[in-house]
Chains A and B, each alone.
Chain A
Amino acid sequence: MNEKAGNMKVKLPVTIIMFVLGLFMIVPFLWMVSTSFQTPTEVFKNWLPSSLNWSNHIRVWTGSYDFVPYYLNSLKISIIGTVGAVFLSALAAYGFSRTSFKGRDGLFVVYLSMMMIPPQVLFVPKFIMFNWVGIYNTHWALILPAMFSIFGVFMLRQFFMSIPKEITESAFLDGAGHYKIFFRLVLPLAKPAIATFAILDFSWQWNDYENALVFLQSPKLYTIPLGLQNFILENNVDYNGMMAASSAAIIPMIIIFFVGQKYIIQGISSSAVKG
């Protein structure tokens, strides 16, 4: 009993301190949402809006900066890119962990070394190549490269290797081929790892600003980060509009975070600790 009381004596103040610090971390989000509901005269003066003023949000969604197409573009690119990356990475991860052929390990070293190449090295040649092939300034310039994720191959390979070899071997001895083993056995077993990778990959693509900046030019193709940038460049005194637009960009991520928190945290901590 004493121990419990003593425990609470520490636990409660620690909780309060950490909660206050946590609030401090999310102040920018709170301020953003609050400002998005204010009128221009209130900005920078009040912490809370005097009344809920939806006009900024309406302006962002239906004005000359219609966020709807940006949303659809981002959704299209992130969904196709993620589905492709998950499928192709899982296939390759199976190849690297459950099949064996000459040159497999050498190939894996090539994958490893490609991870070290910074995206800055690849921007220029990709820009030139995409111009040649004619996919510069199309969504394919973002979708196609996004479908090939080296990180995904690594992460899923690591998970596939933790599946006991006996399981796949006995299925093989029962007459199942590699494709049957992959689709019927390994994929279902790997659901948590696939969910983790899918959520992380989706969020990276949703937030991707650098590739969109380099490979997209026409405003009608813009994704959310680019649309947001344009909105802000051209409205740099419209602070309420800026914050309404930022809220529109961030809120889906916050929802994804709360839905997939378990997977995100698991994925991040396991991938790093096992290194």
Chain B
Amino acid sequence: MKRRSWMERQGWIGMTFILPNMIGILLFFVIPAIYSFVLMFTNYQFSNPNWQFTGLDNLKQLFHDDNFYASIKYTMIFLISVPVSMVLAFIVALFLNRSVYLKGLIRGMFFLPYISSGVAVAFVWMLLFQPSQGPINEMLRWIGIASPPGWFADTDTAMYAIDIVQIWLMLGYNMIIYLAALQEISTEQLEAARIDGASTFKITWKIVWPLVSPTTFLLMITGLIMTMKSFSIIQAITAGGPSGSTTVLSLFVYKTAFGYYEMGYASAISWFLFAVILVITVIQWVGQKRWVHY
């Protein structure tokens, strides 16, 4: 009780600690968010000073827009990268958690893509996947595949090639977090199972995997949200092409706003993106209590 009182007595000083930050959050987050929400109901275009409220027109247009449905499809394909990279990361973390030599070095090798993420690695992958003479297709031809895929150049494969880059990028991040979770598991429990004659596979599947389920859940949620928001890599490699086949939702917003300057419409799309993130977050709140066993 006494503890609360000294903090409360100087309450106004407390406010001065938060105030500078709060002004920024207000200017760069809260006000823009409200502004964007209003724009959603207008036909605002940056070049055109005459705009008016159009009510729900943008939303109606959105649900009749083929490009919108296409972008949802590409976003779904993009999201495949999340569970795939998690499973791979879990396997890598299992092995690294057992004693290996050079643990720091190997961990660093897996983690390097995440830290160097950005435009530069995107360009490296662009060349690696180059269809006619890139090293990946050279290798595929060498092992006897006469006509390897066109990767980023082919509308059918471009999104999956992006997935490969994304999996490669996120693997190290997921691995680090799985490693931290694995280190919290008590060895006694595992020893007891081993003495009872359980195989390594069975111990992993029946004991370790359930024990790290909170981490799996968290990584899944944050991974889905992070992936839904990101478009740097895609913009750098394909800029949404070929013929729109990598225009995921977040990139669709960017293109509508800054390619066509349809800013009211872009706001409507961006709030759809927000709604999806909101749903995922609510699932997290509910699910944390129900589905995860600690």
Contacts and interface: CB of A to CB of B under 8 A. Distances in A.
Given A28-B125, A144-B28, A182 B18 contact: no
Interface string B244-288: 000000100110011000010011011101100110010000000
A25 B130 contact: no
Query: Which of A118, A122, A209 has the most C-beta atoms of chain B within 10 angstroms of its own C-beta?
Result: A118
Interface in B85-100: 92, 95-96, 98-100
Contacts of B271: 121
A40 interface: no
Contacts of B14: 95, 98-101, 104, 178
A270 to B, nearest CB: 7
A67 B75 CA distance: 34
Given A100-B4, A127-B257, A228-B120, A177 B180 contact: no
B124 interface: yes
B201 interface: no
A220 B270 CA distance: 30
Contacts of B31: 125, 129
Interface string B156-194: 000000000000100111001101110010000000000
A175 B135 CA distance: 68
Contact of A25 (B30, B110, B117): B110
Interface string B103-128: 01111111111011111110111011
Interface string A6-38: 010011101101110111011011011001000
Contact of B124 (A147, A169, A243): A243
Interface stretch (B32-40, B61-69, B142-150, B203-211): B32-40
B18 A95 contact: yes
A73 interface: no
Contact of A18 (B3, B22, B106, B250): B106
Interface in A134-151: 144-145, 147-148, 150
Nearest to B91: A21
Contacts of B117: 207
Contacts, number: 294
Given A116-B277, A124-B267, A95 B17 contact: yes
B1 interface: no
Nearest to B233: A209
A104 B13 CA distance: 12
B56 interface: no
A226 B172 CA distance: 25
A88 B24 contact: yes
A150 B25 CA distance: 8
A160 B219 CA distance: 25
Contact of A31 (B4, B24, B92, B135): B135
A197 interface: no
B20 A88 contact: yes
Interface string A184-223: 0000000000000000000100010110011000000000
B13 A177 contact: yes
A155 interface: no
B100 A32 contact: no
A188 to B, nearest CB: 17
A31 B124 CA distance: 8
A243 B111 CA distance: 21
Nearest to B100: A15
Given A100-B8, A257-B112, A118 B101 contact: no
A98 B7 contact: yes
B215 to A, nearest CB: 7
B270 A213 contact: no
Contact of A22 (B4, B110, B277): B110
Contacts of A102: 11
A116 B253 contact: no
Contacts of A239: 127
Contact of B173 (A148, A257, A268, A270): A268
Nearest to A146: B28
Given A121-B274, A272-B180, A111 B228 contact: no
Interface of A: 7, 10-12, 14-15, 17-19, 21-23, 25-26, 28-29, 31-32, 35, 44, 47, 88-89, 91-92, 94-96, 98-102, 104, 107, 110-111, 114, 116-129, 144-145, 147-148, 150, 153, 165, 169, 172-173, 177-179, 182, 203, 207, 209-210, 213-214, 225, 228-229, 232, 239, 242-243, 245-247, 249-250, 253-254, 256-258, 261, 264-265, 268-270, 272-273, 275
10 contacts: A19-B109, A22-B110, A91-B21, A96-B18, A99-B13, A125-B36, A148-B25, A178-B17, A225-B232, A246-B121
7 nearest A-B residue pairs (beta carbon): A99-B14, A95-B17, A22-B109, A148-B24, A101-B11, A269-B180, A92-B21
Given A92-B20, A94-B17, A269-B179, 10 more contacts: A118-B273, A122-B28, A123-B270, A124-B36, A124-B257, A125-B36, A125-B267, A207-B118, A210-B231, A250-B118
